[in-house]
Amino acid sequence: MASEAVTSVVAANLLPPTDRDFLLIATTLYSTQIDAAKLAKRNTDDEDVNLFARRMTTDFVRLFLKMKAIAPRSVIVPRDNSHNRLLQQLLPLSGPKFDHTYVTHFGLRLPGHSIAAFNKEVTEGEEPSLQKAAQNALHTLLKHQSMGEELARKKSIT
């Protein structure tokens, strides 16, 4: 879960501010998507939502492992730093209410914010390995955005 400890670990990394910010955003995204997908597996009976959640889990675990492998050795890559507020909105929900909230946040809203942050790292970042990680992840994030939009259309979620 996101905490002062995670923030201080990222701040302690000897990275330029843009790269530090990106590292925190990327790892928060990865962790939050994984945790939300776990909730989806428990809180929905909808097969389409389950398929989307499984894909998010698979892709974000893979992206996190790639980020960890590609980051400079001196950089500590935080993990388990999910965005608590987003997850708290999902916790009490189940069935169609869960599906609507999950698809709205994780299929429609979050991909756009993520793509913007990753594009910023590609164009403004100073650490080549993190720029490369951002560039490599963009294809997956764009695919997720498309998948989320398609799922929302299928479920009549705007």
Express each pLDDT in 59-85 by its tens digit. Answer: 999 999 998 888 877 777 776 778 888
| 8 A C-beta contact, residue 103 and residue 63 | no
Stretch among 4-8, 58-62, 70-74, 122-126 having the lowest mean pLDDT = 4-8
pLDDT at 55 over 90: yes
Give residue 65's pLDDT: 92
Looking up tokens 């799922």 gives 151
Rg (the chain; Cα; Å)? 16
Please give the domain boundaries of the chain with CATH numbers for all domains. Answer: 4-154 (1.20.1260.10)
| Residue labelled with tokens 């790269």 | 19
At residue 1, the pLDDT reads 44
Q: CA 129 to CA 4: how far, in whole Å?
A: 25
Whole-number Å distance between alpha carbons of 73 and 14: 11
pTM over 0.75: yes
Instruction: Estimate the crossing angle of helix 17-43 against helix 128-154, to 10 degrees.
Output: 30
* Distance from the first to the final alpha carbon of the chain: 29
Q: Which residues in 19-57 are b (16+ Cβ under 10 Å) and which e? A: bbbbbbbbbbbbbbbbbbbebbeebbebeebeebbeebb
Q: What is the pLDDT of residue 84?
A: 86
Kindly state the average pLDDT of the residues 21-48: 94
**pLDDT at residue 107 tops 70:** yes
Distance in angstroms (rounded) separating the CA atoms of residues 54 and 52: 6
